[in-house]
Amino acid sequence: MFLKSLHHIAIICSDYERSKTFYSKTLGLEIIAETYREKRKSYKLDLALPDGSQIELFSFPESPARLDRPEARGLRHLAFKVESIDEMANHLKSFGIEIEEIRINELTGKRFTFFKDPDGLPLELCEE
């Protein structure tokens, strides 16, 4: 097998400061680097998860909104592994973030739930 792991995921946001706060403060991801690219009038924020994988957060002027329903082809959602889904759900609720009902995956038997980032991107929590 030639692929070793997931390196990064790129997300385009509508409000850079709001999304920067959400991913770094609310979700607790470490900021690796922040770059403003004058030519593109765009920020690029590199964020790290504890396992070394990364999220690249971009801001582009006048980017189109994400299609929500019906679901379109392409990336469906991002899923994060957590030790305790209850603790993380309570943490997110303390920031006023709505969390779907915690369910059990019928294939794996593991607990999971969904919430959304500031632009409505579906994010999933998967309990170890």
Is the pLDDT reported for residue 84 higher than 70?
Answer: yes
Instruction: Tell me, yes or no, whether 58 and 91 share the same domain.
Output: no
> Tokens in use for 47?
């964020």
82 found inside a domain: yes
Total domains in the fold of the chain: 2
Tell me which of 39 and 6 has the higher pLDDT.
39
- What pLDDT was estimated at residue 128? 85
Is residue 66 over pLDDT 90? no
One domain for residues 83 and 108: yes
Do residues 48 and 94 share a domain?
no
Task: Give me the domain span that covers residue 122.
Answer: 76-128
Q: Is residue 69 part of a domain?
A: no
Last residue of a domain, one of 62, 90, 113: 62
Residue 14 has pLDDT above 70, yes or no: yes
Which residues does 52 contact at the CB level (< 8 Å), separation at least 6? 5
Same domain as 2, residue 54: yes
Q: Do 82 and 40 share a structural domain?
A: no
More reliable by pLDDT, 65 or 21: 21
Examine the domain organization and report whether 55 and 81 are in the same domain. Answer: no
Strand partners, 12: 58
DSSP 23: I
Q: What is the mean pLDDT of residues 16-27?
A: 96
Closest C-alpha to 99, from 84, 117, 118, 113? 113
Same-domain pairing of 89 and 121: yes
Q: For the chain, give me the number of helices (H) and strands (E)? A: 2, 8
What percentage of the chain reaches a pLDDT higher than 70? 94
- Per-residue confidence (pLDDT) for residue 116, from 0 to 100: 94
User: Is position 105 within any domain?
Assistant: yes
Signed CA dihedral, 89, 92, 96, 97: sign only: negative
- 3-state DSSP call for residue 86? helix
- pLDDT value for 67: 72
68 falls within a domain = no
Quick: pLDDT tens for 38-63: 998 999 999 999 999 999 999 988 88
pLDDT of residue 3: 62
Domain identity same for 24 and 51:
yes
Residue 37 within a domain: yes
The average confidence (pLDDT) of the chain is 90
- Same domain for 52 and 81, yes or no, is no
Contact status, residue 19 vs residue 12, Cβ threshold 8 Å: no
| CA separation for the pair 53, 93 (Å, rounded) | 25
